[in-house]
């Protein structure tokens, strides 16, 4: 997969923070498969959502951006301010 492959950037919102984190920002070219990996706590794919599952912390897909490349996710991560993209934190949901 290269930087021109289209996929989905997604933002997970955690019901309770884990350490300092309240969100997870990711990118995938197979959204349903990736969400199943998160839901089942697939440790080798994402230690953070595995830890959430172990602690019984619920998470929600708060937002998605479709038809974007992995560069979209990388740019958003550079900003280090995911709550501004979260409609749950902003009180929009």
Mean pLDDT by 10 residues, the chain (93 residues): 90 94 95 93 85 94 97 93 93 86
Q: Which domain holds residue 45?
A: 7-85
For the record, the structure tokens of 71 come out as 């560069």
Alpha helices in 1-93 (DSSP H): 31-39, 47-55, 70-79
The reply to whether 91 falls in a domain is no
The reply to whether 29 falls in a domain is yes
Number of domains the chain contains: 1
Q: Tokens 């709550």 label which residue?
A: 83
| Global pTM value | 0.92
The reply to whether 2 falls in a domain is no
Q: What is the CA radius of gyration of the chain?
A: 13
CB contact at 8 A, 6 and 69: yes
Cα 93 to Cα 83: distance, rounded to the nearest angstrom: 13
User: Quick one: pLDDT at residue 58?
Assistant: 95
């Amino acid at each position: 997969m290269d930087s021109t492959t289209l996929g989905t950037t997604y933002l997970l919102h955690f019901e309770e923070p884990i350490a300092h984190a309240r969100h997870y920002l990711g990118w995938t070219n197979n959204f349903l498969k990736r969400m199943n990996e998160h839901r089942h706590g697939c440790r080798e794919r994402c230690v953070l959502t595995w830890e959430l599952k172990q602690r019984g912390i619920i998470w929600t897909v708060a937002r998605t951006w479709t038809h974007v490349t992995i560069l979209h996710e990388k740019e958003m991560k550079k900003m280090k301010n995911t709550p501004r993209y979260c409609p749950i934190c902003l009180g929009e949901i």
